Amino acid sequence: MVKFLQTIITIAGFIVPLATFFEADGGTGEQKKEKVLNALMDELDKSEIKLPVWANLFKKPILSLLIDAVVNYLNREGFFEHGEDS
């Protein structure tokens, strides 16, 4: 379980630059999230970062929740500039 959590933390580090990149593209939150998710899955496929076999069965939902958590944190910290207050 510790290895899994370490892997999740490593993957979270990929989300920040991807989210920043796709934030600049514009679109709805769901559109940007889908772009981040697809790019993240591509990067993980290219890298040596591997999820445990059991987690691969739930890879997309796990990554989706992780993206939500990271972006939520970044929004709370004011990382992204929004045109109006939410």
DSSP result, 20-83: HHHHHH---HHHHHHHHHHHHHHHHHHSS----HHHHTTHHHHHHHHHHHHHHHHHHTT-S--S
pTM, whole model, 2 decimals?
A: 0.85
Residue spans of the domains in the chain: they are 2-76
Handedness of CA 8, 12, 14, 19 (dihedral sign): positive
d(CA 4, CA 8): 6
Calculate ∠ Cα 40-24-14, nearest 5°: 25
User: Residues 16-67: pLDDT tens digits?
Assistant: 999 999 988 888 989 999 999 999 999 999 998 889 999 999 999 999 999 9
Output the six-digit token pair for 67: 């993206």
